[in-house]
Structure 1
Amino acid sequence: MHIEKIIIRHMNMTMKSPFTTSFGSVQQKRFLIVEVHDERGNIGYGEGEAFEAPWYTEETTETCAHMIECFLAPLIFGAPIEHPREVTERFRPIRRNNMAKAAVECAIWDVYCKRIQKPLWKQLGGRREKIAVGVSIGLQPTEEALYEKIEASLQAGYGRIKVKIKRGHDVELVKSIRSKYPTVPLMVDANSAYTLEDLPILKQLDAYNLLMIEQPLAADDIINHAKLQRQLTTPICLDESIHSYEDVLTAIELKSCQVINVKQARVGGLTEAKRIHDVCVDSGIQIWCGGMLESGIGRAHAVALTSLEGFTLPGDTSGSVNYWHEDLIEPLVSVEEGFVHMREKPGIGYDVNRMKLEKYTESKQTLFPE
């Protein structure tokens, strides 16, 4: 497979409502879409899921665009590609910058699957023809607003509710939710808002039968999470701390968590995400697929990943209508009675609406082999 050109699109889309976590609030979403064109005219799409500011990881939309243009694209143009798995090895000399790598690698998976006329999820080894999904609810301005979102999510059939917490909005918040919804599968996400000094607060959450506490401590920590997990009965889920297969091995060795949130964008692409899936299955670590407020393109890649057998917990890959007035794909990612059904169409399984792609493109760069 020869790659003839790569297009980097700088996108700007407005979410239906702000999404607020312990590290900030997002409504105007700027992100990248990467197009990879092969010599047969096939186009693969990937999404650069980094935010404008380095809240979640050190990457931003601008750093990702720079890395793709100056470092990653030349490695792709350097030689033909027989299989997308080669991309991870080709990118190995470039340290970190996983979200930039994932945007390109996912696009190459898509173009490869279109080339061989196979669905991406089946080429990854997926066997589930439908995947269970949950919903992630950001911090809300009022308790009433939170309950409205929870109620709407339950009515839509979502199988798990995730709420964001931070200092001052944690134990009483969870207690209130549990008093109203005593049996709903519930988890909380701290986005690194706490330290070990907050152990008394975090231990109180054990009383509320939570599925897990996601990333309570620092984004670069694995050691202190092990200390915390020994003090809690609630499973800890690592998210921001896991950037690679090697990070997973460290977390397993130290017993830092019982659950891992796998995001293809955070770990450098689908190939590394599959490796993480495999070792977690072998080690008895539960996994699920998280979300990054993606457009339908990134969401479609996450749906394909979640079809792997080890993803036994509902992920964050909720329907497009939860976030966007209109999306870049047709049909939209939709949820039916708590499930997203896999599609047989080659590649990501969804058509990209080129008119909407152009509508939300602020600028673009086209890269060619030298």
Structure 2
Amino acid sequence: MKIERVDLSLLYLPYVRFFETSLGREEGREFIIVKVHSEGLCGYGEVVAQATPSYSYETTATAWLILRDFLIPLLFSKDLARPEEFYREARRYRGHPMAKAGLELALWDLQAKKAGVPLAKLYGGTRPDIEVGVSLGIENSIPELLERIMPFIGEGYRRIKLKIKPGWDIEVVKEVRKHFPDILLQTDANGAYSLKDKAGLKMLDAFNLLLLEQPFPPYDLWDHSRLQKEMKTPLCLDESIISEDTARQALEMKSCRVINIKVGRVGGMVEARKIHDVCRREGIPVWCGGMLESGIGRAHNLHIASLPNFKLPSDLSASKRYYKEDLIDPPIELQRDGTI
């Protein structure tokens, strides 16, 4: 298989409703679609970098430059077609995992189409139905948040995730747990706290949470390990896990009891599978996080979440959760049993 052409498209999709985290409020999402052409087939990938360097130092502008000036030329100069080969060669360039992942995923999609098999089969997936949850952003008030939760439970979502930050945390979780005592509930801070907030974070132990995700800033492992020793709630690392090595280090340090795998954050499926495998060997469950992707990125995530150690509901909601009109047709839809 020989790559003939690579196209990049910069797109913007408005959300059906604003989405706010500890990093700020957004009304829509800018992102890049990668298309790789070969022998009449086209593989699609999505670069999950945002317009601003908030979740990550990468942006759509930096990812476009890295793809245009380095990664796509590398593909042609080395005559690469297999995603594993691209992964190995692209390691010469430091950082920029989201740019790398977008192109690698397009190569995986192309390879699956060439072989006539689902992506999940190439990845080693074992399940046809993916258990999913829904993420709720920071709202204007607690009553508004409670009102928004009920319809999602009615649709069948198996788990609710609440975004938290200082000042929008303990009372919010307390009220949600009071109104919904039996739901699987977890929280996500996106690194909004520090060790000085330990006493307040430990109060979350009272609410029977599935996990507390990334309370401390990106890349930290040590302070998370100190906090985990004092909390019964499992900590889950997101922004701190950028490779197989950081996953191994986090487990050795007992920095967490769960790991969130986002293929864009770790630089592609090859690295994501390595993280999955090291966690599986150590008996640590993983789940697939989302970046509010379009249907293209979301479809990739569903195939990734079919691997056997994805034990917790993933952040892979139906298309209509975020977008009035998705890029794919038919859109991704939730089944009544809470799976996709």
Q: Does TM, normalized by the shorter one, top 0.5?
A: yes
SS in 1 for 2:130: strand
SS in 2 for 1:51: coil
Distance, in Å, in 2 between the alignment partners of 1:280 and 1:149 is 34
Deviation of 1:88 (Å) = 1.1
Deviation of 1:330 (Å) = 1.6
* Structure 1 counterpart of 2:129: 130
Using CA pairs below 8 Å that are at least 6 residues apart, which structure has the higher relative contact order?
Answer: 1
Distance, in Å, in 1 between the alignment partners of 2:203 and 2:8 is 47
Deviation of 1:82 (Å) = 5.5
Change (3 A) 1:338 1:24: farther
* Structure 2 counterpart of 1:31: 31
2:81 and 2:107 in contact (8 A); partners too:
no
SS in 2 for 1:28: strand
Establish whether residue 20 from structure 1 lines up as the match of residue 41 from structure 2: no
Structure 2: which amino acid aligns with 1:141?
N
Deviation of 1:144 (Å) = 2.2
Displacement over 6 Å in runs of 4+: none
Identity over aligned residues, as a percent? 45
Unpaired segments of 5 or more residues in structure 1? 342-370
Change (3 A) 1:56 1:338: farther
Deviation of 1:8 (Å) = 0.8
Establish whether residue 183 from structure 1 lines up as the match of residue 182 from structure 2: yes
* Structure 2 counterpart of 1:112: 111
Distance, in Å, in 1 between the alignment partners of 2:8 and 2:173 is 42
Deviation of 1:25 (Å) = 1.2
* Structure 1 counterpart of 2:290: 291
* Structure 2 counterpart of 1:103: 102
Deviation of 1:28 (Å) = 2.4
Deviation of 1:78 (Å) = 2.0
Distance, in Å, in 2 between the alignment partners of 1:81 and 1:59 is 24
SS in 2 for 1:329: coil
Establish whether residue 159 from structure 1 lines up as the match of residue 158 from structure 2: yes
2:163 and 2:187 in contact (8 A); partners too:
yes
* Structure 1 counterpart of 2:314: 315
> What does 1:3-152 correspond to in 2, within 5 Å?
3-38=3-38, 40-81=39-80, 83-152=82-151
SS in 2 for 1:130: coil
* Structure 2 counterpart of 1:256: 255
Change (3 A) 1:173 1:106: same
Distance, in Å, in 1 between the alignment partners of 2:172 and 2:53 is 28
Deviation of 1:147 (Å) = 1.3
Deviation of 1:81 (Å) = 3.5
Change (3 A) 1:124 1:339: farther
Distance, in Å, in 2 between the alignment partners of 1:290 and 1:338 is 20
1:130 and 1:339 in contact (8 A); partners too:
no
1:134 and 1:338 in contact (8 A); partners too:
no
TM-score for the superposition, normalised by structure 1? 0.90
**Superposition RMSD in Å:** 1.0
TM-score for the superposition, normalised by structure 2? 0.98
1:35 and 1:45 in contact (8 A); partners too:
yes
Distance, in Å, in 2 between the alignment partners of 1:300 and 1:188 is 24
Change (3 A) 1:78 1:338: farther
Distance, in Å, in 2 between the alignment partners of 1:43 and 1:37 is 5
Deviation of 1:338 (Å) = 4.2
Deviation of 1:86 (Å) = 1.5
Distance, in Å, in 2 between the alignment partners of 1:332 and 1:315 is 18
Distance, in Å, in 1 between the alignment partners of 2:190 and 2:250 is 18
Deviations 1:133-187 (A, max 9, x none): 0000100112222112210110010010000000011111111111111111000
Establish whether residue 277 from structure 1 lines up as the match of residue 265 from structure 2: no
Deviation of 1:334 (Å) = 0.8
1:2 and 1:79 in contact (8 A); partners too:
no
Deviation of 1:324 (Å) = 0.4
Structure 2: which amino acid aligns with 1:124?
Y
Structure 2: which amino acid aligns with 1:31?
F
SS in 2 for 1:50: coil
Structure 2: which amino acid aligns with 1:188?
T
Unpaired segments of 5 or more residues in structure 2? none
How many residues are aligned here? 340
